[in-house]
Structure 1
Amino acid sequence: MCTPVNIHVMNAYHHGDLRNALIDAAASLAAEGGPEAVTVRAAARQVGVTPTAAYRHFTGHDELITAAKAECVAKMGGAMRKRLEALEPTDDRVESLRARMQALGQGYVDFAFAEPGLYRTSFTGGVHGDDAPDEYEAPDHPHQMLVGLVAELVDLGVISEADRLGTEMTAWSMVHGLALMMIDGPFAGLDAAERERVVAETLRVFRQMLWPDAT
């Protein structure tokens, strides 16, 4: 779990950055208690300011939870990016793609298990409609990482352009559902080794659907 950010947010506040201090506080609250724990009053209390001061930066709960959500998504994307950076480089495009698919899927599920509060907040509501941020377009958003890999599948001729969207949705639904079963469902009681085996086997079967002849 993330450590409390009281010292960090207080430092940010005393440096005149109250808005970001409140966002950091909201992310800390999310880590501890999920999206339900994120309120303007709770964030203000953690920073050490009055709710009135906080409302100068956020008009209400929706705006704060939207900002907290973006912070949580960034943390998830960062964790997944580290998985990619840890891979051994290879000139074999197909082998590289397989390894990166495995790393992203494993990183996604591992983050959900390690940080369930942040994970749940990453997919909660917030500002909707014309004022909503284009969150899924951020380069380090997990969805954009997946989009990039699927684009490579198309480029390599592994799947057709017509199957692009279906492949994206299948892959995301698979790891998202697996993550939820790990933190809330029938796989919640697995130990680390069993959890890793289940994830690896699930991803192996998905890869085999794309490359039936691969071992």
Structure 2
Amino acid sequence: MSSATASGSRQRPYHHGSLRSALIDAGVALAREGGPERVILREAAREAGVSHSAAYRHFADREALLAEVSRAARSELATQMRRGVEDASDPVSRLGAVGTAYVTFAVNEPGLFRVAFDSHPVPDLDPRGNRSTVEAASETAEPFDILNQVLDEVQAVGLLDPNRRPGAAIAAWSAVHGLAALLVDGPLPTTREGIDFALEQVLGLIARGLLGVDPEAGR
């Protein structure tokens, strides 16, 4: 019996040359279980079924692995946001779908949500919250890129005053992220009814504040 098996690690097969990816996958699994505190390079090596010295050939330290796990968590969040946008029928609905996907991800994957913005490098943002040049459909798109694209669409159909566009993404993101954090780590109720009610209030506030429309009016 190998020492790795004797220690109880879960062997994860990987192809030659893909150990770095295997370590990131192991780090993501650890983050899913317990957030950023759970991501330890030695533990990721054990999960991948290799020695910690082998892991150090790919990552200089825990922070280097944590940065990649953070990037992977944001990529998963961006994918869910993108799916929500694709299922919505109009710009206002897509704006709501972005927020709904964000909060849903946080509630369903609290460990990944905590690690998503815990480590650098998170792309620097202009203080005014200006849009990114990355296409939202790109695999490298960040959650912020997807939000910016939806706000651009809302502006394009005349629902968002161009003078209010700078900083709009920061305002919307802050409101939704704050709600997500309060649901995951704070005192807000996490029953289905409680989440739906809180989300409705925050998304309504964003729509009325930025667009001057009531998303419930057409229902």
Q: Shorter-chain TM-score category?
A: 0.7 to 0.9
2-side partners of 1:213 and 1:128: how far apart?
32
Distance 1:197 1:25, change over 3 A: same
Q: Shift in Å at residue 15 of structure 1? A: 4.6
1:120 corresponds to which of 106, 109, 114: 114
User: Aligned partner of 2:24: which letter?
Assistant: I
2-side partners of 1:48 and 1:138: how far apart?
37
User: Aligned partner of 2:198: which letter?
Assistant: V
RMSD value, Cα: 2.3
TM-score (norm 1): 0.82
TM-score (norm 2): 0.80
For the Cα contact (< 8 Å) 2:92–2:154, is it kept in 1?
A: no
Considering fraction of residues, name the structure with more helix.
Answer: 1
Give the structure 2 partner of residue 208 of structure 1. 208
Give the structure 1 partner of residue 178 of structure 2. 177
For the Cα contact (< 8 Å) 1:112–1:183, is it kept in 2?
A: yes
Aligned residue runs from structure 1 range 1-215, under 5 A? 6=10, 10-11=12-13, 13-87=14-88, 89=89, 96-127=90-121, 137=134, 139=136, 140-187=141-188, 189-212=189-212, 214=214, 215=217
Q: Which runs of 5 or more structure 1 residues have no equivalent in the other structure?
A: 1-5, 90-95, 131-135
1-side partners of 2:212 and 2:77: how far apart?
31
Distance 1:205 1:129, change over 3 A: closer
For residues 28-51 of structure 1, the C-alpha deviation after alignment (integer angstroms, 9 at most, x for no partner) is 011111011112101001111111
2-side partners of 1:26 and 1:41: how far apart?
10
Q: Shift in Å at residue 180 of structure 1? A: 0.4
Q: Shift in Å at residue 154 of structure 1? A: 2.9
Q: How many matched pairs?
A: 194
2-side partners of 1:204 and 1:45: how far apart?
46
Q: Which runs of 5 or more structure 2 residues have no equivalent in the other structure?
A: 1-9, 125-131
